[in-house]
Amino acid sequence: MRYNEKELQALSRQPAEMAAELGMRGPKKGSVVKRRLVKLVANFLFYFRTDEAEPIGALLLEHCRITREEPSGFSISFVEDIERKYRFECCSEEQCQEWISALRRASYEFMRRSLVFYRNEIQKMTGKDPLEQLGISEEARFQLSSLKA
């Protein structure tokens, strides 16, 4: 699959939802914990060497699972191989919680579900479709029917 690295690098320079130096260990056997700058931008998690401007890698946060890992860390794995984990170590319980909740909200699919939920609730309460009032009720990405239960 072809993708443009420069495009992703440009995205990694955008303001982050969350950014911190964390311990990170890749999913490969025998990999060790390394200090990385980890940056959440839109639905991508970028990781950098602490002395470099360009990221070493990016994780697309769609269809992923965020798991709390003891003592104070979390892991990210993806549905096609849930055992293959990227592990992160935080410096406190609090920081860990912050990352977990930010990462769980970071997917586009999650945003879409939230939108459909709000749209439904508002319609139930007020009898009006809020998106119709915004003039965007026809957009495919906001349709209730496009979501599978």
Partner 1 sequence: MKLNERSVAHYALSDSPADHTGFLRTWWGSGTAPGPSGAGRRCWFVLKGNLLFSFESREGRAPLSLAVLEGCTVELAEAPVPEEFAFAIRFSAPGVRPYLLAADGPAAQEAWVKALSRASFGYMRLVVRELEAQLREARKSLASHRRSSCRAAASRCKPPAPDHCSPALENGHSPCKDRSPGSTAEEGGSRPSGWASLEWEVQGSASLLLGRGQSPVSPETSCFSTLHDWYGQEILELRQGWLKRARVGRAGWEQKDRP
Lookup: tokens for 97: 């919680």
Cβ-contact 62, 109 below 8 angstroms: yes
**29 interacts with partner 1 by CB under 8 A:** no
Cβ nearer to partner 1, comparing 68 with 104: 104
In degrees rounded to 5, what are phi and psi of residue 71? -80, -55
Q: Smallest gap, in angstroms, from Cβ of residue 30 to partner 1?
A: 17
CA of 76: how far to CAs of 64, 124, 128, 140, in Å?
Answer: 7, 36, 39, 30
**149 interacts with partner 1 by CB under 8 A:** no
Question: Among 29-37, 65-73, 74-82, 89-97, which window interacts with partner 1 (CB under 8 A)?
Answer: 74-82
Q: Report the alpha-carbon distance of residue 70 to residue 90 in Å, rounded.
A: 10
What SS3 class is residue 20? strand
Tell me, what DSSP letter sits at residue 65?
E
Q: Smallest gap, in angstroms, from Cβ of residue 147 to partner 1?
A: 6
Q: Smallest gap, in angstroms, from Cβ of residue 75 to partner 1?
A: 13
Interface residues with partner 1 (CB under 8 A) are 1-11, 13-15, 17-18, 42-44, 54-60, 62-64, 78-81, 101-102, 104-106, 108-115, 117-119, 121-122, 124-128, 130-131, 133-136, 139-142, 146-148
